[in-house]
C-alpha cells in the first residue's frame, strides 16, 4: 500500500509547491479570530489577551538542515535557536519577555549535551531580558529545537512590513554576509577565519538597534533571516512598493572580502542573499536621522505599473537593475 502522505507527483509535493506558496496556502485555510491584531504575514503575529497586545513567533532548527553537530557546539545551537525567535520579536518592535522551547532528540543523545543547549538558550535570552519559561521534551529520530518567542509592545504600535513609503530610505543594522561566508569556510573543511565561523555558529542580533528604531518612528522593519533581497521582497510586497539596494552602500566586512578573494568568489551574493546573521532592515523617512547602529543601503520607490495597469516586477532591484544572483535561502529547494 502506498504512503498517503507521499505526493502523487513532484509538482504536488512540498518541494514542488515551495516554501512561500505552501505557507500562503496554509494560512488561507486558517480563519483569524477577533482577538488577532496582526495575522500571519509579518515577522510575528500579534494577539490580544485581555485587550493587551502580545507578540508571538516560532522558529525551528533541525539537525542536518539548519546545523551540523560537528560544526556547532550544543550551546551554539541553543544560542542560534533563541536568536531566530528573538530577532523576529524585536523586528516587530517588541520587547522579548519569554521563550518556550520544544526539543526532540534520539534516546542515545548525551544528556549533558542537551543541558548545554539549554545553557545557550538561556544565555541568548538573557541578552534581551527574556526568560526561558518551559516547553516540551520528546524522543525523535533527529535533534530539533523549536522556540516560541513571546513579547510585549509597551504601548507602542507593532512595526509591520507593510509601512514602507515611496521616498523612504532603507537602512540595515547588523552584519550581512558574515555567517554565509562562515558556512562557505566550514563547507570546505576549514575552521578559520574564526570570526566568520563563529558568526555562522551564533548570530549577533542588533537587539538594541531594533528597540531604537521602534521608538524613533521606523515605518517598516524585517529580520533578515533568509537573505537581504528575499526579505526586502517581503517588505516591498506588503507595502506595495519597489526597493532599490545601492550595492556601494552595503558594507562588506574585511574577513568576508578576504575569504571571497581566497576562493575566487564575489562577496556580494553572500551579503545580499545570506540570512544567518539575523540583521535587521528598516524603512525610515527620507529626512529621518537614523538610529545608532543603522546605515543607509538604499531607497523605497513607487512600484512600477505595466501597460495594463497591473503592478510590475521586480519588487527589489540592485543598483536599479534586476538582481540575477540568489535572493536568499529557500526551504525545500532541490
Q: What is the CATH number of the domain that holds 173?
A: 3.90.650.10
Q: Report pTM.
A: 0.93
Same domain, 141 and 262: no
Rounded to an integer, the average pLDDT of 4-16 is 77
Query: Which set of grid coordinates corresponds to residue 230?
Result: 528575499
Q: Is the pLDDT of residue 1 over 60?
A: no
3-state secondary structure of 132: strand
Q: Which of 92, 119, 152 is the last residue of a domain?
A: 152
Q: What is the CATH number of the domain that holds 65?
A: 3.30.1330.10
**pLDDT the model gives residue 201:** 96
The closest of 113, 213, 220, 211 to 163, measured between CA atoms, is 220
The domain of 269 spans 161-322
Please report whether residue 91 resides in a domain.
Answer: yes
**pLDDT the model gives residue 15:** 74
pLDDT digits (tens, 9 = 90+) for 144-161: 999 999 999 999 999 999
Domain count of the fold of the chain: 2
How much of the chain, in percent, has pLDDT values that exceed 70?
A: 95
Please report whether residue 27 resides in a domain.
Answer: no
Same domain, 195 and 312: yes
- Complete DSSP assignment for 51-78: TEEEEEEEEEEEBTTTB-TTTS-HHHHH
Please report whether residue 186 resides in a domain.
Answer: yes
Same domain, 120 and 180: no
Backbone angles phi, psi at 228, to 5 degrees: -60, -50
Same domain, 217 and 86: no
Of 15-29, 60-74, 268-282, give the lowest mean pLDDT range.
15-29
pLDDT digits (tens, 9 = 90+) for 195-249: 999 999 999 999 999 999 999 999 999 999 999 999 999 999 999 999 999 999 9
Q: In what order do the strands lie in the sheet with 36-38?
A: 36-38, 45-49, 52-62, 144-152, 95-105, 131-139
Same domain, 120 and 167: no
Same domain, 169 and 142: no
Same domain, 169 and 317: yes
Amino acid at each position: 500500500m502506498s504512503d498517503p502522505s507521499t505526493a502523487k507527483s513532484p509538482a504536488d509535493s512540498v518541494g514542488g509547491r515551495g516554501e512561500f506558496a505552501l505557507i500562503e496556502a496554509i494560512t488561507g485555510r486558517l480563519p483569524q479570530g477577533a482577538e488577532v491584531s496582526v495575522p500571519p504575514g509579518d515577522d510575528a503575529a500579534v494577539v490580544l489577551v485581555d485587550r493587551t497586545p502580545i507578540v508571538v513567533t516560532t522558529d525551528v532548527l533541525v539537525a542536518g538542515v539548519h546545523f551540523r553537530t560537528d560544526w556547532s557546539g550544543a550551546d551554539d545551537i541553543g544560542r542560534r535557536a533563541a536568536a531566530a525567535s528573538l530577532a523576529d520579536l524585536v523586528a516587530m518592535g517588541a520587547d522579548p519577555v519569554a521563550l518556550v522551547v520544544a526539543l526532540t532528540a534520539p534516546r542515545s543523545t548525551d544528556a549533558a549535551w542537551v543541558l548545554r543547549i539549554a545553557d545557550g538558550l538561556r544565555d541568548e535570552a538573557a541578552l534581551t531580558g527574556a526568560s526561558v519559561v518551559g516547553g516540551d521534551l520528546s524522543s525523535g529520530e533527529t535533534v530539533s529545537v523549536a522556540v516560541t518567542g513571546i513579547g510585549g509592545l509597551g504601548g507602542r504600535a507593532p512595526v509591520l512590513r507593510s509601512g514602507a513609503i515611496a521616498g523612504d530610505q532603507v537602512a540595515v543594522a547588523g552584519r550581512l554576509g558574515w555567517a554565509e561566508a562562515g558556512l562557505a569556510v566550514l563547507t570546505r573543511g576549514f575552521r578559520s577565519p574564526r570570526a566568520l565561523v563563529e558568526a555562522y555558529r551564533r548570530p549577533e542580533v542588533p537587539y538594541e538597534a531594533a528597540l531604537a528604531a521602534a521608538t524613533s518612528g521606523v515605518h517598516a522593519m524585517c529580520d533578515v533571516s533568509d537573505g537581504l533581497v528575499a526579505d526586502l521582497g517581503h517588505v516591498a510586497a506588503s507595502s506595495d512598493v519597489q526597493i532599490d539596494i545601492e550595492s556601494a552602500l552595503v558594507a562588506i566586512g574585511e574577513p568576508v572580502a578576504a575569504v571571497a578573494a581566497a576562493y575566487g568568489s564575489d562577496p556580494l551574493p553572500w551579503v545580499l542573499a545570506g540570512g544567518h546573521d539575523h540583521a535587521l532592515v528598516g524603512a525610515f523617512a527620507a529626512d529621518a536621522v537614523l538610529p545608532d547602529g543603522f546605515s543607509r543601503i538604499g531607497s523605497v520607490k513607487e512600484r512600477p505599473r505595466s501597460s495594463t495597469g497591473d503592478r510590475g516586477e521586480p519588487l527589489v532591484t540592485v543598483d536599479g537593475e534586476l538582481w540575477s544572483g540568489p535572493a536568499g535561502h529557500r526551504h525545500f529547494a532541490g
